[in-house]
């Protein structure tokens, strides 16, 4: 990532209070008004509920405020525009239209599409962190299952996995990268708890894992010629200490994003055979700061 001026990634954390309250206050009131006018707990059959986590709404609003304030402080044109987009994000935060929040924080329910819609009922049933993400992949359940069932393939699509080694039919040894503070790597043994060919694989870590968790992936043929809906679910207890801090960094703030990105890489790998990279493409230096156009 290139850490220069004009891109502020929404969702970035580390938001602090800022004296420019007079700017944010009206927007906050607007946000609150919007939030209170929306009926709670409304769900629609067969579609994700239009409710989004308050926390995430705040996150988006906060990112928006960051952008807006960063823009406000800079009186130049890009600053102004940054602020404009910031305001837009605050709006999104206010309105709850935050797509990444789609599935955060509810536990595993059934596996029918309709069960997906029913999220609020299962919320908070278990402690810990739950992650669920789905994507449509244009391949048959058989092809997708085959790739996944061979866990040794997973480091190809999961950016934080270093290796997976098969121990026997049901057990495998996983190594994920971690920063030096957490020992450079975390490892665990996992065992398959449920294996329905071409449909579903569940696993959980065995005693002594650095990060205890359980997860499942399920493959469901989509309507018509749409391929297969793939859903990943993970449930884990965030560990304590330095490891916990790292883990929070990796998964805690944006577990949805991490899993979503992995699932997206799986889709890219299966549909187009590769994950398009930008590494090594040409960039300029702007030493002369450019000429006025």
Partner 1 sequence: MKAVVWCAPYKVAVEEVPDAKIINRRDAVVRVTSTAICGSDLHLVDGFIPFMKAGDVIGHEPMGIVEELGPGVDQSKVKVGDRVVVPFPLGCGECFFCRRQLWSCCDNTNPKPRLAEELFGQSTAGILGYSHLTGGFAGGQAQFLRVPLADVNLQKMPEDLTDHQALFLSDIFPTGYMAAEACDIQPDDTVAVWGCGPVGQFTIRSAQLLGAGRVVAIDDEQRVPERMEMARRAGALVIDMHDQYVHDRLLDITGGLGPDVCIDAVGMEAHGYTALTAAYDKIKTNLFMETERPHALRQAIECCRKGGTVSIPGVYGGFSDKFPLGALMNKGLTIKTGQTHVHRYIGELLGHIRAGRIDPSFVVTHRMPLTQAPQAYEMFREKQDGCIKVVLDPAR
Contact 201, 194 (CB under 8 A): yes
Residues in contact with partner 1, shown as a per-residue x/- string from 232 to 271 under the rule CB under 8 A: -------------------------x---x--x--xx--x
Residue 283 binds partner 1, judged by CB under 8 A: yes
Is the Cβ–Cβ distance between 159 and 268 less than 8 Å? no
User: Binding to partner 1 by residue 81, rule CB under 8 A?
Assistant: yes
Instruction: Please tell me whether residue 100 adopts helix, strand or coil conformation.
Output: helix
Among 88, 109, 117, 192, binds partner 1 (CB under 8 A): 88
Tell me if 226 contacts partner 1 by CB under 8 A.
Answer: yes
Selected binder of partner 1 within 13, 112, 138, 159 (CB under 8 A): 138
CA–CA distances in Å: residue 270 to residues 127, 136, 160, 206, 251: 34, 11, 19, 30, 24
Asked if 281 touches partner 1 (CB under 8 A), the answer is yes
Identity of the residue, 160 or 264, whose beta carbon is nearer to partner 1 in the bound complex:
264
- Does 41 sit near partner 1 (CB under 8 A)? no
Smallest distance from the beta carbon of 218 to partner 1, in angstroms?
Answer: 19
Nearer to partner 1, 47 or 125 (CB): 47
Helix or strand (DSSP H, E) at 76: none
Burial (CB < 10 A; 0-12, 13-18, 19+), residue 219, is: buried
Sheet holding 161-166, edge to edge: 129-137, 228-236, 213-221, 200-205, 185-196, 171-177, 161-166
Distance CA 10, CA 56 (A): 11
Residues that bind partner 1 (CB under 8 A): 2, 4-7, 9-11, 60, 68, 71-72, 76-78, 80-89, 91-92, 97-100, 136, 138, 225-227, 257, 261, 264, 267-268, 271-286, 288-293
């Amino acid at each position: 990532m290139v850490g220069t001026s004009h891109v502020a990634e929404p969702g970035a954390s580390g938001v602090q209070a800022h004296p420019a309250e007079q700017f944010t206050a009206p927007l906050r009131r607007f946000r609150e008004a919007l939030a209170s006018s929306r009926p709670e707990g409304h769900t629609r059959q067969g579609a994700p509920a239009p409710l989004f986590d308050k926390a995430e709404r705040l996150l988006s609003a906060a990112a928006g405020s960051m952008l807006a304030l960063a823009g406000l402080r800079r009186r130049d044109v890009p600053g102004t525009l940054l602020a404009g987009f910031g305001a837009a994000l605050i709006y999104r935060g206010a309105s709850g239209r935050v797509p990444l929040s789609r599935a955060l924080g509810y536990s595993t329910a059934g596996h029918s599409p309709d069960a997906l819609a029913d999220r609020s009922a299962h919320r908070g049933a278990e402690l810990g962190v739950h992650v669920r993400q789905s994507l449509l992949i244009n391949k048959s359940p058989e092809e997708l299952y085959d790739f996944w069932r061979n866990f040794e393939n997973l480091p190809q699509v999961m950016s934080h996995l270093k290796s997976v080694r098969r121990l026997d039919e049901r057990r495998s040894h996983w190594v994920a990268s971690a920063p030096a503070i957490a020992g450079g790597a975390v490892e665990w043994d996992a065992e398959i708890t449920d294996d329905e060919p071409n449909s579903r694989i569940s696993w959980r870590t065995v005693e002594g894992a650095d990060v205890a968790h359980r997860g499942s992936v399920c493959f469901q043929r989509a309507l018509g010629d749409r391929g297969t809906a793939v859903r990943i679910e993970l449930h884990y207890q965030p560990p304590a200490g330095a490891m916990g801090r790292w883990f929070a960094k990796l998964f805690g703030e944006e577990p949805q994003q991490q899993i979503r990105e992995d699932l997206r890489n799986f889709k890219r790998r299966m549909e187009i055979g590769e994950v398009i990279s930008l590494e090594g493409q040409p960039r300029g230096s702007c030493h002369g700061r450019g000429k006025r156009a």
